[in-house]
Structure 1
């Protein structure tokens, strides 16, 4: 702004000074040109010309406007001056005088500093100094230069106003550009800040998702390892149940088939029938145990059943097998669930009721189904003496299997136990189940 303001002000000052000087020079030249003789050949001015110039610059409009006047010859000699002591003296030509003899009008505003301008400096006022070439009428050749000083108080006021207006204009334009650039930068900064915030939130969200994915991956790995171990344990338990139960009974029956009572023709009929009845009884016991094992392995047809029907079937199967009474309560409308969710819920109720019957004698068993914050919640409770979860049998498969089955579907499994009873609860997210 300072550089542009200084440059514009200097241009305006130069233009105003030149235009004002040109107007004054034209006016003075129109007055004195008819008075001057042929300065091409004249070495000095005659008395008549001198007297007319004295009268011209001593009175009238021109005399009140021009405070001093000098007429120069090309070698620096003063042909005429309103200061008589300078007439005939020769001074070294300055740059302005040389420029004027080259045919150009020179105008300047300020305090004169030339050696021959001591009288003008004594006024202590800024003056308009003008060098105007005097041309020969018929040839246009510069034969002399007129130098005069004008008191330019009005000019000084106008020049000050022009400087002030030019500075104000430059400052205003600079301020406008500054405001526009500030607005652009502020808007860009706000956009960058908004994008940075959105990017930070996105990175945070992606970091959270990445952490969740890592946790889910580790969870899936652990679940897969535990599922493999649980499957092996299930197979070992199933094999042990078959070996210790039906296999022993069948083996016992096979040994009795080869008994002497059955192969000896002379054995008593009553003893032989009693042996056959014992064999049948052992075989029937083996069949009952095999059916019991199969009943625990085979699920009823629940793929097409709704949620209330699944719970009723689980409770009814438990009551039929154990003879225990179970209270069932269901809240809210039925919701559509995937077959895997129904199987998990059925197994959860089945295993929880079996544990409650085994450890609490089936005392006060209840099954409750409800909805909490978009989750389906199943609770199985009893009024037994409770137990210590950490003290459960290491090889036990029931609770561990339930936890793995439920958590593999993204659900939660909890145990709350005290001396007043035990509550096993599970929850599954309905939205995730419907999406699945």
Structure 2
């Protein structure tokens, strides 16, 4: 069928067949569609939506537009996790080696920062020599020998998604639930997964700021992924404050190493990491209950096996062999570090996580334009969680900056961002729902 006929049908609210969707995606992948046709299709979907069956068909068609990874010969369940993005969200860095230490194979294909959110790949590039785009042979070897590998998407995985997203980005159709769902899941299906766990963020630092929108997206992702043959569940998690006590690139790598070394116990971050490890283990059939999964994950941490797994992954992907033991030899430090003093005494009761992410971007730790070069040294560390009582002048965090001027601007922005009240706040649970 002609592409314009498929566009017309969707514009008029008709349901597209799997064959029609496959035909359109094949033409998209082959470069046979104009940007106008791609944009018109995206806008028609934005206005008219898609049924579950249509989104399943779109997801499968985009996944099959390139290579599908095969993990034959690897005698472990093939599992992964995906986050919709947030500030101080470095869960993947710890979760992959924990899950691998517990018996899963985790071929984790991650992305770069988007807007105010940090990107796992940008963080990993703070490690000297780490290869984020290995060839397929090395990727497979690391997953087989270590149990996990965190890398970036290659051009041969779901290439139709890349072409569609590029047009969505400039046609105000990025926030279409069917297109978000197909975009996320097509890459995961192309990775050859058997199970998937989704972290759908909600709050002022998330792309979905309302609980209702987050639930709609979570249900769409879970329904479509299961419909496409990947056993999937989701947790809705709070993003009204940075998840880790660090936001940046090298500072979040240091935070990861501290976590794997047992120095981040009893934190919101630990709650989320252990919950997702348990979810992955239950979904993959390694354990029968979330409690058993959390116990297994906690043992992988306390025994040092997860830290060892992370170190071996880093080394096999080109990083230093002693990175976990001696990170200060390799992670460059910002020339200026300063405490961020509380402007008054009281309880840290609220903050705007999105704005904290944008301050990191202003420091040079993120991109405003695709070609921008990231300064991996900058960001915040030692951020106090909401619900902490502080005295005037007490540090609520530490800024890492390239200049005194940049540090002072970041301090001013962060102190303005936090609300300090006289009474202890009531805070949301970090994990609010399982879907």
TM-score range, shorter chain: under 0.3
Q: How does the TM-score come out when normalised to structure 2?
A: 0.20
Instruction: Report 1 or 2 for greater relative contact order, CA contacts < 8 Å, sequence distance ≥ 6.
Output: 2
Larger Rg: 1
Q: How does the TM-score come out when normalised to structure 1?
A: 0.20
